[in-house]
Amino acid sequence: MLAKRIIPCLDVKHGRVVKGTNFSSLKDVSDPVELAAFYSDSGADELVFYDIVASAENRSLFCDVLREVARNVFIPLTVGGGINTLDDFDTVLKCGADKVSVNSGAIKNPDLIGNAAKRYGNQCVVLSMDVKLCDEGYRVYSLGGRVKTDIDAIEWAKFGEESGAGELVINSIDTDGVKNGFDLPLLEKIVNAVNIPVIASGGAGSVEHFKELFKRVNVDAGLGASVFHYKDFTIGQLKRELKSSGVEVRI
C-alpha cells in the first residue's frame, strides 16, 4: 500500500539552511549536506530544497550544494525557489534534482507549468502555492508570500493539474511557522478539487498535527521545516507514532 510521505523542507541561503517564522526573522540552522543525510537516515521520504535568494550568483552556490546532496542521498529531491524559465528547470535538474517546484514563476507565466511538463514529464513539475484566507476567499500569494494576487487558490490548483503539474504543495500562510497544526479546511478544499497528489505544508508543530492531518484529509504527504531542524521530534519517532495510530508509513 502506498505510504504517506514525510518531507523535510530545507530553505537554503548562501549555502546554509535557514527557516523563519511567518517567512521572516531567519535563523541559520545547519549545513544542507549534513542535514540531508541525517534526514534520509532517520526516514525522510523525500527532501525539498528552496533557494530562498535565487540570485544568479547564489544559484551556482545552491547548485553546488544540491550536487553534493545528490551524490550522497538516494531519495527524491525537489528544488524550488526562483524557477521562472525552462532554463531554470534545466539547471537544477542537471545538478541532481528529480522534481522542480514552481510558484511565483508560474503566476507570472502560467504556460511554464505546461511547457515544463511537456519537456520533462508531469512527474517533474510540482506546483507550489502560498495561500491565505482573505475576505473574498482563499487567495494565492506570490514572491514568497509577500504579494497578494487575485487568483483563487482552488481554481489555481485545478489549473495546475490541467496544465500538467504532477503534484501540488499547499503552503498555508496563515499556519506557516506558527506550529499550531496544518490548515485542514484549506487542504480539504484542495484535495476535493484535484486528483493529483497533494503535499501539506505550514503549521506542523507536533506529532499530533501529522496524525490529525493524515486521518482527516486525504493528502499524500506532510512537509515540515523548523519542527525537524530543531529536533522537536525526529522523523523516526514521528513515523513510529503514525504507524501505531494506523497511518501507513515507510519505516
Q: Which is nearer to other proteins, 71 or 108 (CB)?
A: 71
Clarify whether 130 is annotated catalytic: yes
Please state, in angstroms and rounded to a whole number, the distance separating the CA atoms of residues 86 and 210: 34
Cell of 79: 528544488
Task: Candidates 26, 30, 61, 76: give the one binding other proteins (CB under 8 A).
Answer: 76
Q: Least separation, in Å, of the C-beta of 152 and other proteins?
A: 22
Number of residues that bind other proteins (CB under 8 A): 33
Q: Least separation, in Å, of the C-beta of 123 and other proteins?
A: 4
Asked if 108 is part of the footprint of other proteins (rule: CB under 8 A), the reply reads: no
Asked if 196 is part of the footprint of other proteins (rule: CB under 8 A), the reply reads: yes
If we measure between CA atoms, which residue out of 114, 166, 128 comes closest to residue 51?
128
Asked if 56 is part of the footprint of other proteins (rule: CB under 8 A), the reply reads: no
Asked if 236 is part of the footprint of other proteins (rule: CB under 8 A), the reply reads: no
Report yes or no: 30 and 69 within 8 Å, Cβ to Cβ.
no
Q: Least separation, in Å, of the C-beta of 250 and other proteins?
A: 4
Q: Least separation, in Å, of the C-beta of 206 and other proteins?
A: 23
- Active-site choice (130, 176, 183, 220): 130
Per-residue binding string, other proteins, 2-41, x by CB under 8 A, is xx-x----------------------------------x-
Segment 116-175, which members bind other proteins (CB under 8 A)? 119-124, 166-167
Q: What's the chain look like in SS3? A: CCCCEEEEEEEEECCEEEEEECCEEEEEEECHHHHHHHHHHCCCCCEEEEECCCCHHHHHHHHHHHHHHHHHCCCCEEEECCCCCHHHHHHHHHCCCCEEEECHHHHHCCHHHHHHHHHHCHHHEEEEEEEEEECCEEEEEECCCCEEEEEEHHHHHHHHHHHCCCEEEEEECCCCCCCCCCCHHHHHHHHHHCCCCEEEECCCCCHHHHHHHHHHCCCCEEEECHHHHCCCCCHHHHHHHHHHCCCCCCC
Q: Which is nearer to other proteins, 173 or 187 (CB)?
A: 187
Segment 78-107, which members bind other proteins (CB under 8 A)? 93-98
Asked if 176 is part of the footprint of other proteins (rule: CB under 8 A), the reply reads: no
Q: List residues near other proteins by CB under 8 A.
A: 1-3, 5, 40, 45, 67, 70-72, 74-76, 93-98, 119-124, 166-167, 195-197, 220-221, 250
Catalytic residue IDs: 11, 130
